[in-house]
Amino acid sequence: MDRKDQKKLDILRVLKEEGKALTSTQIVEILQSAGIRYSERAVRLYLQMLDEQGLTEAHGRKGRTLTREGIRELQQNEVVNRLGYLSAKIDLMTYRMTFDLPTCSGGVVVNTSVLPIPEFVKSISAICDVFRHGYGMGRLVSLLRPGEMFGDTEIPSGYLGFCTVCSITFNGVLLKHGIPVASRFSGLLELLDGKPVRFAELINYDATTIDPLEIFIRAGMTDNTGAVRNGNGLIGAAFRELPGESRQHVENITERLEKIGLGTFLKIGLPNQPILGIPVSEGRIGAIVVGGLNPIAILEESGRKLFHSGAISGLMDFHRLFPYDELGRRVNEIL
């Protein structure tokens, strides 16, 4: 990458990380605090160029903000540099999560998918089937209205946003109870007669910039349809490691999470013992949790293409979540 491209990306990165309009003076100060020294005149010239390319938007004296094209430009140029990005994002969201189990308040981590309203209405039954069979994360979901903004996702007119609880929520709750969680990988969990038997495919979190379940879903490799129909299929699941001595404490906490609809671990192993053939580190236990994107995967399997689907998309207030079997009524209220 030549110096000109590097300067452009440095400026775009500052605008993205700050998430608000910045003047050239503010951008220079932020870059300098990071040990990157550009003159204010150079930054002004680059901002003009970025405006012309449609990567930034001017807001008068308030400064510039990043456009959607600017976000895409950053993503396309930072893939190589983002190896390990997903693991870092999981750790960040675990730390940021504000949900408090004793008071059942605060923000939980969710996944967000965007679907055309007619397609979503046709899909409600299939989505509920996934939850009913225990292949969804807990029992709670939420909806985003047309025009609503959540994180980096804006819901277009004629579409609905569908949010499911992300399994990273477990990480945050357990951390707040003094139990560190190591997220190792996500994969496709094979079921026979409704029981997990092995991981058929897996991708380590630190080896990808995209959530592994998104990859498997887009590749058409899941089989939630078979799992719902007769208990034989491939569903998304994730593998965690926890301190061996925490097993009883973890079971007590996840039992409370299950009661309020946030779900529980599908399977918890024994200290120093493999779980479904996956070895664990010394002094640790393995745990398997179903993927929060499974209700969306079954729609892809039926040929219903999504406008957008993203794992670990943001924090949502717990009180915005509602039981999955209220989906039909809630959609009708919006319409």
- The DSSP secondary-structure symbol of 209 reads S
Strand partners, 204: 185
Q: Are 239 and 298 in contact (CB under 8 A)?
A: no
Q: Are 172 and 101 in contact (CB under 8 A)?
A: no
Residues 6+ apart with CB under 8 A from 237: 186, 187, 188, 189, 196, 199, 266, 288, 289, 290, 291
Pairing of strands 159-165, 153-154: unpaired
For 81, the token pair is 């540099």
Q: Rounded to whole angstroms, how far apart are CA atoms 264 and 165?
A: 12
Name the burial class of residue 80, with classes exposed (0-12), middle (13-18) and buried (19+) by CB atoms within 10 angstroms of its CB.
exposed
For 109, the token pair is 């981590």
One digit per residue, the tens of pLDDT, for the chain of length 335 reads 456 678 888 898 889 888 889 999 999 988 887 778 888 888 999 999 999 999 999 999 899 999 988 888 887 776 545 555 678 788 888 988 999 999 999 999 999 999 999 989 999 999 999 999 999 999 999 999 999 988 778 899 999 999 999 999 999 999 999 999 999 999 999 999 999 999 999 999 887 778 899 889 888 999 999 999 999 999 999 999 999 999 999 999 999 999 999 999 999 999 999 999 999 999 999 999 999 999 999 888 887 766 677 788 889 999 999 999 999 999 999 88
The predicted pLDDT at position 78 comes to 62
Residue with tokens 């003094």: 178
The predicted pLDDT at position 1 comes to 45
Q: Are 196 and 179 in contact (CB under 8 A)?
A: no
Q: Are 10 and 46 in contact (CB under 8 A)?
A: no
Q: Extract the runs of DSSP E, i.e. beta strands, from the chain.
A: 56-58, 64-66, 107-116, 140-144, 149-150, 153-154, 159-165, 182-192, 195-204, 233-243, 267-268, 284-290, 308-317, 322-323
Cα dihedral 269, 273, 277, 278, rounded to 10, equals 80
Number of H helices, E strands in the chain: 12, 14
The predicted pLDDT at position 278 comes to 94
> For helices 24-33 and 3-18, what crossing angle results, to 10°?
100
Spatial CA neighbour of 111 closest among 315, 323, 324: 315
pLDDT, tens only, 186-213: 999 999 999 999 999 999 988 777 889 9
